[in-house]
Amino acid sequence: MKDFYGRKCSKTLKKEDIDILYEGYFFSDNSSLKKKINNFCNQFSKLNLEIGFGTGDCLIDQAQKSPEEGFIGCDPFMSGNLNIAKKMKDLSIKNIFITNVTFLDFLNSVKNFYFSKLFILFPDPWPKKRHKKRRLINEEFTDYISQILVKNGKVIIITDHIDYQKNIHISFESNPRFKLVKSLKQKKLFFENIFETKYYKKAISKNTIIHHSLYRLVEKNS
C-alpha cells in the first residue's frame, strides 16, 4: 500500500496558523505523536478513527453526538488539520485528536489501542489506470486495519466512484476476518448518521450514485 501522494501543506498557510496546531494538545506530527496520542486515548473507553477527514465536518459531528467517546482524525493535509482545529476551538470540543502523519506512521503509534468505528468517506479514487496503485484501500490495507479494530468493530466506507467501490469490495472479500454487513447504492447517508460532507453534496449535485459499505471485523488476529 502506497501511503500518501500529493502536497501536504498549502502554500497559502501562514506560520501563525500552523503555530495554532503545534501549540494545542489535540494535534501532533511524527515528533511527539506516540506520547500525545497515548495521553489522549487513555482518557476514553471507546475510540473511533477517521482516515482522510478533509474539512473535518464528519469528525466534528460525530464527536458532538458522542462526547463520551474519543475520535481521532488522520489526514496528511495541513490545511484540513488547521480547519478542524479552528472549529474545535470555536466549539470547545475536547474529544478529538488530529494528526498529519501518514496512515502507516499512525499505525505504528496506536498498536496498544483499538477502535470501534473506522470512517473512510469519499477517499481519493485515483481514476487514471496508472494511478490506481495509489488508492488507500486494498488487500494490504484490510490487514492493517484488522490490527487496530476491536472485534466486531465497524468499517464505514462511502464513495461515489464505481470502479473504486468494486476494488474495495474485492479487497475486503479477500480478507476472511471481515464480513460485509450492508452495501447500498443510494443518495442518502444512512450509516451511523453520517454528516452530509462537502464531497457528499458535490456528488449529489452531479446526480451521482453514492456507494455505502459497512463491514465488521468478525475475527481478530491471533
State the pairing for strand pair 47-51/96-99.
unpaired
State the pairing for strand pair 210-217/115-121.
unpaired
CB 33 within 8 A of CB 26: no
3-state secondary structure of 222: coil
3-state secondary structure of 136: coil
What is the Cα–Cα distance from 222 to 216, expressed in whole angstroms? 17
Grid cell listed for 31: 515528533
Grid cell listed for 158: 462511502
Active site residue 163: no
State the pairing for strand pair 149-159/115-121.
parallel
Q: Which residues contact 19 (CB under 8 A, 6 or more apart)?
A: none
What is the Cα–Cα distance from 152 to 178, expressed in whole angstroms? 9
What is the Cα–Cα distance from 94 to 36, expressed in whole angstroms? 14
Element (H, E) at 169: helix 162-173
Which of 17, 29, 61, 124 is catalytic? The answer is 124
CB 91 within 8 A of CB 26: no
**Residues with a known catalytic role:** 124
